[in-house]
Amino acid sequence: MKLVAKKEKGNEFRQPVLSKSRAAHFWRNVFRNRYLYLLMLPAIVHLVMFEYSAMYGITLAFKDFHAKLGITRSPWIGFKHFEGMFTDPYFRTVLLNTIKISFGRILFEFPMGIIIALCFNEIKSAKLKKTLQTAYTFPHFLSWVIVSGVVLNFLNYNGPVNTIIDALGGERQIFMGNKKLIVPILYITDIWKESGWGSIIYIAAITGINHELYEAADLDGATSFQKIWHVTLPCIRGTILVMLTLRVGSVLNAGFDQIFNMSNSIVQQTIDILDTYIYRITFQQAPDFSYSTAVGLFKSAIGFIMVMIVNRVTQKLEGTGILD
């Protein structure tokens, strides 16, 4: 979830009192703001130490890494790792899985936040609303390590869900070991964990809608549903679009934490995504640092390109990009 500042500020460089050379003016401006630079220093040091320095390591993707030689002195091998990647049929499976699961999430999980927000808006009792909201947002604050433990217990063959199915005369299901059910289970558990949290942003947006619009609709004799369709949704359209484009931008993130913690040997291939694949080729089977860096770079690069595209789209739609 990304938040976007909408307010533009006309805070340009201060005009020089006397016209001097541009360079002198520039450096004077730098000096004038020295305390601001000081405030930024810790963050910049952090970025340089842990982010930008690490980016140099990306060269590994084009090298044959030898621990003895280190990153810099390992020999260059060009695009060999990428060739290997694209000829590996399993890589294709994983990439497809990632895209499939990710789009499924957009299709099924994304609207849930909006729906919940709309429903909340209809609840009249403030106290109930608050209690429910506490319950709805709570799972967001737990790690997938915890939640997977809770979910595995809940969907156990002898667990509550199966007991209910059994009591209703249905057949007990092996939820976590069923290749057809596992992907829906991923969606549902993610909705269960995150949609309450995801709704907050829309609730905030709905709170900001002008009340006169609803009153006018009431005068026209609109039903609740009509009010949602003709007033609420158009008013939060901008928020929805921004959130959606952001979600599409990170399409290659299909939920590592969830899948890593909920997977088991039977469904592993069905829900193997890029991130879990990268984890495995880095640490488990025949680890090759260069190759896994190459796969990571592929993912990172596609992700970045997607974000740039999305940024353009939001700029077109909303007048301001998400990166501003």
For another protein, the closer of residues 107 and 323 by Cβ is: 323
Q: Residue 151 Cβ, how far from another protein at the closest point, in Å? A: 7
Q: Name the residue with tokens 């020295």.
A: 34
Residue of 317, 309, 307 whose CA lies nearest to 237 = 317
Q: Which is nearer to another protein, 104 or 139 (CB)?
A: 139
Q: 76 in helix, strand or coil?
A: strand
Min dist CB 265 to another protein, Å, is: 4
Least Å from the CB of residue 20 to another protein: 15
Residue type, 233: L
Report the nearest approach of another protein to the CB of residue 300 (Å). Answer: 5
Q: Residue 106 CB, nearest distance to another protein (Å)? A: 18
Alpha carbon distances (Å) from 93 to 31, 49, 219, 304: 55, 36, 56, 22
**Please, what's the largest Cα pairwise distance for the chain?**
88
| CA pair distance 312, 249, nearest whole angstrom | 11
Phi and psi (nearest 5°) for 145?
Answer: -60, -50
Nearer to another protein, 92 or 224 (CB): 224
For residue 205, give every residue at least 6 positions away whose Cβ sits within 8 Å of its Cβ, in sequence order, or none: 117, 235, 236, 239
CB 241 within 8 A of CB 297: no
Cβ of residue 100: shortest distance to another protein, in angstroms? 19
Q: Which is nearer to another protein, 110 or 154 (CB)?
A: 154
Least distance CB 105 / another protein (angstroms): 19
Integer Cα distance of 296 and 198 in angstroms = 28
Tokens representing 195?
């949609």
Alpha-carbon Rg for the chain in angstroms: 25
Q: Cα torsion for 132, 137, 142, 144, to the nearest 10°?
A: 110
Return the number of the residue (21 or 284) whose C-beta is nearest another protein.
284
